């Protein structure tokens, strides 16, 4: 397929390019910054809020991977973040629907649940947390991801476009991931506890995107995509006891089992992230 990848110069975007090109797809890329990669068939540099740029990038593509967004809430103007992420999501998905694109894979976030960036600590109602867990979001970043998922549903209703919204946790590889594991080991509380120690190797994120493009799916689907274990070397039961006491445990958890239900990822996409964190790695594993 000819696939448009927005946010192609970003951390996840680079790995998605690798995965799609290795699978034989032709890639069209967009980003706000120059892309130092000669492999895409076309590159469009500019802001996704620009309707003409999005229309030009969408020309002739069969599928879209939408990664282009402000990827965190650490900005001075939360309203501007919310507006930018919502407008770019609508611009990309609506243009895809109007031009006959049949499949869109969009990067949502587990922040849509509302735990990660809550101004006061919150605990889930139950674990493992599935896609039906009630949303308690307050922050503009998480709220923009809720809006993305609603835009995806509206796009499917209006145009029949198949959309997969992937709720990612912290995503990293190499030194970025190593530093994250070190921070969690040093202090599993605070932000790490708010994120329920969810994580994902970027290579697994890219493979999940590829599987979502290839899966024979209709409709609009929101899917948790996370590693099967936590980012902490501590046992999961100990993490819950310390930081989320009293939470209902609805399924048996392995010693270092993750707190997000990823069964829908396996069932819908035929894929589960393979890489493991510091607590459940065997000798010599990476």
Tens of pLDDT, residue by residue over 154-199, are 999 999 999 999 999 999 999 999 999 999 999 999 999 999 999 9
What pLDDT, on the 0 to 100 scale, is given for residue 282? Answer: 47
Q: Is residue 184 part of a domain?
A: no
Q: How far apart are CA 271 and CA 264, in angstroms?
A: 9
Q: Is residue 53 part of a domain?
A: yes
Nearest to 228 by CA among 201, 194, 257: 257
Q: Is residue 243 part of a domain?
A: no
Q: Is residue 77 part of a domain?
A: yes
For the chain, what percent of residues have pLDDT higher than 90? 94
Hey, is 2 helix, strand or coil?
Answer: strand
**Of 149 and 72, more confident:** 149
- Residue 281: pLDDT band with limits 50, 70, 90: low
Q: Establish whether 141 is a catalytic residue.
A: yes
Q: Is residue 208 part of a domain?
A: yes
* H/E element, 158: helix 140-159
What pLDDT, on the 0 to 100 scale, is given for residue 151? Answer: 98
Q: Is residue 279 part of a domain?
A: no
Hey, is 83 helix, strand or coil?
Answer: helix
Residues in the chain: 286
What pLDDT, on the 0 to 100 scale, is given for residue 286? Answer: 38
Side-chain-facing half-sphere of 69: CA atoms under 13 Å? 30
pLDDT at 283 over 90: no
Q: Is residue 188 part of a domain?
A: no
Instruction: Write the Ramachandran bin of 213: left for phi over 0, alpha for psi from -120 to 50, otherwise beta.
Output: alpha
**What is the DSSP-derived secondary structure letter of residue 82?**
H
For the chain, what percent of residues have pLDDT higher than 70? 98
The residue written with tokens 């190797």 in the block is 201
What pLDDT, on the 0 to 100 scale, is given for residue 143? Answer: 97
- Per-residue pLDDT tens over the stretch 230-263: 999 999 999 999 999 999 999 999 999 999 999 9
- Residue 116: pLDDT band with limits 50, 70, 90: very high
Minimum mean pLDDT range among 166-180, 183-197, 200-214, 268-282: 268-282
Range 27-50 average pLDDT: 96
Exactly one of 126, 141, 159, 243 is catalytic; which is it? 141
Q: Is residue 237 part of a domain?
A: no
The enclosing domain of 38 has a CATH number of 3.40.50.720
**Reported pTM:** 0.95
Rg of the Cα trace of the chain?
18
Domain that holds residue 74: 2-173+199-228+258-269
Considering the chain, what is the average pLDDT of its residues? 95
Burial class (CB in 10 A: 0-12, 13-18, 19+), 216: exposed
Q: What is the number of structural domains in the chain?
A: 1
Range 79-107 average pLDDT: 98
């Amino acid at each position: 397929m000819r696939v448009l990848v927005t946010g192609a110069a970003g951390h996840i975007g680079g790995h998605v390019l690798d995965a799609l090109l290795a699978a034989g797809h032709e890639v069209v890329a967009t980003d706000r910054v120059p892309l130092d990669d000669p492999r895409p068939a076309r590159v469009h540099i500019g802001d996704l809020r620009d309707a003409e740029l999005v229309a030009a990038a969408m020309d002739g593509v069969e599928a879209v991977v939408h990664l282009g967004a402000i990827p965190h809430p650490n900005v001075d103007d939360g309203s501007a973040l919310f507006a930018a992420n919502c407008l770019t999501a609508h611009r990309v998905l609506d243009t895809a629907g109007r031009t006959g694109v049949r499949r869109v894979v969009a990067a949502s976030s587990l922040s849509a649940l509302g735990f990660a960036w809550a101004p006061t600590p919150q605990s889930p109602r139950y674990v493992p947390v599935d896609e039906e867990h009630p949303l308690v979001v307050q922050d503009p970043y998480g709220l923009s991801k809720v809006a993305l998922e609603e835009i995806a549903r509206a796009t499917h209703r209006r145009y029949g476009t198949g959309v997969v919204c992937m709720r990612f946790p912290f995503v990293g590889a190499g030194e970025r991931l190593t530093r994250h594991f070190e921070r969690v080991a040093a202090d599993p509380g605070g932000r790490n506890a708010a994120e329920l120690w969810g994580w994902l190797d970027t290579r697994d994120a890219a493979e999940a995107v590829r599987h979502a493009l290839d899966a024979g799916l209709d409709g609009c689907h929101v899917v948790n995509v996370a590693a099967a274990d936590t980012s902490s070397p501590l046992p999961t039961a100990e993490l819950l006891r310390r930081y989320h006491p009293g939470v209902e445990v609805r399924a048996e958890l392995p010693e270092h089992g993750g707190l997000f239900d990823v069964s829908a990822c396996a069932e819908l996409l035929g894929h589960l992230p393979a890489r493991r964190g510091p607590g459940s790695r065997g000798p010599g594993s990476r």
